[in-house]
Structure 1
Amino acid sequence: MLKKTLITTILLSCAGTLAQENPTWTSVPTRGDTLCSDGTPYRYYELRANPKKLVVDFMGGGACWNDLTCGAGSNTYVPNLSSLQAPGAVGIYDKRNASNPVKDWSHVFVPYCTADVHLGNKVVKYKNGTVHHKGAVNTQAVLGDIFKKYPELDQILVTGCSAGAYGSIMATPYLTRQYPRARVVQFGDAGLGVTPSSFGAVGFNNWGAGSSIPDWIEGLKTIRADASRLDIAALYNVIGKTYPEARLSEVTSSTDVTQIGFYGLMKGIVQPDQTVAAEWMTAALRQLNTLASTTPNFSVYVYPGQQHCVINRPEFYSTTVSGVKLTDWLNQELQGKRPAPVLP
């Protein structure tokens, strides 16, 4: 069985979205080829409020890509939505908190049960069973519903924790193209995409992630044709330059234990040591600095510690670095500004 501390951290990081039922949310079934990893039906949640302002929020929850991580003893992903409830009133979901930047916005919560960071469109038979990597299919179904239900939007926040951070950046071009007059802010939480160079050929290829790449963006055509070349930093850069009016951003802790754990698994290391942690931290800081300096509409907020995800925690309101509160920093983005990068 994979390292228990990593498994526990993954589950706890998503606890904010698995809290008590909030009766103001509506469960919405999807149509078409939408599925969870084990082939069971998919659904999403919706909270109707301001019809011109919308949060599109991708759930996190691990991933799998080979016989080890998708095996019978692995708990690094959620295979279905049988135990999922609507978001509880914590973090960004606490609509009664006056400090919540999106307290009166409509909110679509996109659950995660495909083990492919919302990017997949492939069915793979691993040693211990078949996994339906249908994250991109599920995402497109939800986006299709959004386009019908919300014909006109003034503001959109595209966000997500962990695996959901990748869903948020990939969905941004689709939303920006659909709503050219809206102010679009992407806010990825705890999903930097720091991977070993060998991961693309296994992980992204096994997920069929190329199908999630927008086919109208010239700079992404090679990645769409060959998913093994997918690079999250390059994705941010190309999307940012294609849509300079959109605001792109990431938030993370400086030594995120879960991101480090998965980085180790991508290298085949079940129990990552300090060397692996230092390698991830160095690569993460280099990537964030490069993005902040080369992508004019990208910014980043790094806070100290090992915590994984913040938008679904009470710390969403208390996190402060060098006198800059995270909620104030996000508010600047929502106002169309580029807040200064908060880096160690």
Structure 2
Amino acid sequence: DDGTTGSGTAVIPDTDTSTGATGTTSEPTSGTPTGATTDEPTTTSGDTTTDTTTGGPIEPPAYDQWITVPLEGAVCGNGSQYKIFVNWHEGAKDLLVMLEPGGACWDFDTCSGKADLGAAHPDGVPDDLLYDPLTKNLSPLMRRDVEGLTQDWNLVFLPYCTGDVHTGNNVIVYQDPEGVEPDLEFHHNGHNNVMAATDWMAAQFPGTDRLFVTGCSAGGAGALINYHFFRSRIDAQRGYLMDDSGPIFPSGGWSAKLHEKIRSSWNVDSVFGELPRGYEIDDDFGVLNTHLADLYPDDRLSTVFFQRDFNYSRYSYERFYPDMTKEKILEYWAEDTDLMTALYDPHPNMAYYLPYWRDLNDSHCVSIISYLDTEIEEQGVDLGDFIETLLDDDKPLVNYRESVQPDEDN
């Protein structure tokens, strides 16, 4: 994909630079759902299966409830069927795409579940995932029963079961370093699943007004890394991104070893090779942030996270540097944050929101559960205010970084 389709037209420089190698296994799939199902009986009129001849939209089986949609050819890490969850709202022209969080894996211990740090849904995605209260109420942005900016939008939830922040393009066999357990074949198929979902959404939601792509943790990283593919394929007039607690830091900092590891385990070079000509990513993953800002100058792009996040920071450094303590990990996190904010500051269509600490989930994921304790008191804003500005094209974006709060996180 050259990024020139749909209303989200990318700005492609006039250059002869080669596009680089494209991963053959991440070519667009049809995204045709093998069926659309609900956990409870639903009475609908009209056809509830995709017209595979025209690729046209399906008739929503129901409004304002979650519908399970398996995607043909899309698989989880264990090779089982991948599926997405869709919540139509009658008459809606805006679309929220939420990518699920859930850790990451890149070796035998993390992908087999032996390690303390691992990834979500190693046994695949259950059909009733969105009937689980924790998942259903993951974010105020996903809820119909809470007054909010996206309450009346169409909603699509992309589960996470590939251990690769929705970004991998590799089938790999991991071997037990102790030689005890059998080999583990793992499908880091996240990018292909995203492409299948995106093709399905492009057919299902033509003529979208606003497209808001977000997620937290692995979902946040996946939202940013795949934003170009969502934006260039889904016909939307305006685009918005909020990467919550899954920052892609510059590789010149402490995240370099993580980037090197996932480069080999997940084959992310093949994904980056699909970016438009002139926007290649070689040694520095962090330039993806500014590439997106340049590709989509009229879109509004953001990253949010807590400065004392002790979850994503552990994934970033704990397995790559010796003798890691909490304070050392958070010191590395702060230094990488400095590099990231320096990238963002010159760009008027990019913004960050960085509160200090919250006594919930190790200060990980700002947008989950509620916006309680997400405020930056010294500037009189909370995450809800930041999102309201993000989605308001008439307001300039503002960067927020809370000062160190010495009485917090003791």
Deviation of 1:38 after TM superposition, in Å, equals 1.1
The one-letter amino acid paired with 1:310 is V
Partner residue of 1:300? Answer: 352
Residues 1:83 and 1:262: Cα distance change in structure 2 (over 3 Å): farther
* Kept in 2: contact 1:60–1:164 (CA 8 A): yes
5+ unaligned residues in a row in structure 1: which ranges?
1-19, 224-228
Instruction: From the CA coordinates, give the structure whose radius of gyration is larger.
Output: 2
* Structure 1 runs, 4 residues or longer, greater than 3 Å off: 20-23, 178-181, 268-273
Partner residue of 1:191? Answer: 246
Note if 1:76 corresponds to 2:121.
no
Match of 1:85 among 129, 147, 153: 129
Match of 1:276 among 313, 329, 343: 329
Name the SS of the counterpart of 1:250 in structure 2. strand
Match of 1:335 among 349, 367, 392: 392
Partner residue of 1:219? Answer: 278
Deviation of 1:211 after TM superposition, in Å, equals 2.9
Q: What is the distance in 1 between the residues matched to 2:284 and 2:171?
A: 19
1:125-274 superposed matches below 5 A:
125-128=173-176, 129-179=184-234, 182-194=237-249, 196-213=255-272, 215-223=274-282, 229=283, 231=285, 233-269=286-322, 272-274=325-327
Deviation of 1:84 after TM superposition, in Å, equals 6.0
The share of aligned pairs that are identical, in percent, is: 25
Deviations 1:237-279 (A, max 9, x none): 0111111011110110111010221122341558643222212
Q: What is the distance in 1 between the residues matched to 2:275 and 2:399?
A: 30
Partner residue of 2:383? Answer: 326
Name the SS of the counterpart of 1:70 in structure 2. helix
Deviation of 1:111 after TM superposition, in Å, equals 0.4
Residues 1:209 and 1:177: Cα distance change in structure 2 (over 3 Å): same
Partner residue of 1:94? Answer: 143
Residues 1:309 and 1:168: Cα distance change in structure 2 (over 3 Å): same
The one-letter amino acid paired with 1:81 is V
What's the TM-score once normalised by structure 2's chain length?
0.71
* Kept in 2: contact 1:214–1:220 (CA 8 A): no
Partner residue of 1:287? Answer: 339
Q: What is the distance in 1 between the residues matched to 2:214 and 2:200?
A: 18
Q: What is the distance in 1 between the residues matched to 2:298 and 2:98?
A: 20
5+ unaligned residues in a row in structure 2: which ranges?
1-38, 41-62, 177-183, 403-410
More helix by share: 1
* Kept in 2: contact 1:261–1:272 (CA 8 A): no
Partner residue of 2:367? Answer: 311
The one-letter amino acid paired with 2:156 is V
Residues 1:200 and 1:310: Cα distance change in structure 2 (over 3 Å): closer
* Kept in 1: contact 2:169–2:190 (CA 8 A): yes
Q: What is the distance in 1 between the residues matched to 2:167 and 2:191?
A: 5
The root-mean-square deviation of aligned C-alpha atoms, in Å, is 2.4
Deviations 1:186-230 (A, max 9, x none): 00100113453233332122101123336352233354xxxxx35
What's the TM-score once normalised by structure 1's chain length?
0.84
Deviations 1:35-60 (A, max 9, x none): 11111111110000143100011111
Partner residue of 2:99? Answer: 58
Name the SS of the counterpart of 1:113 in structure 2. coil
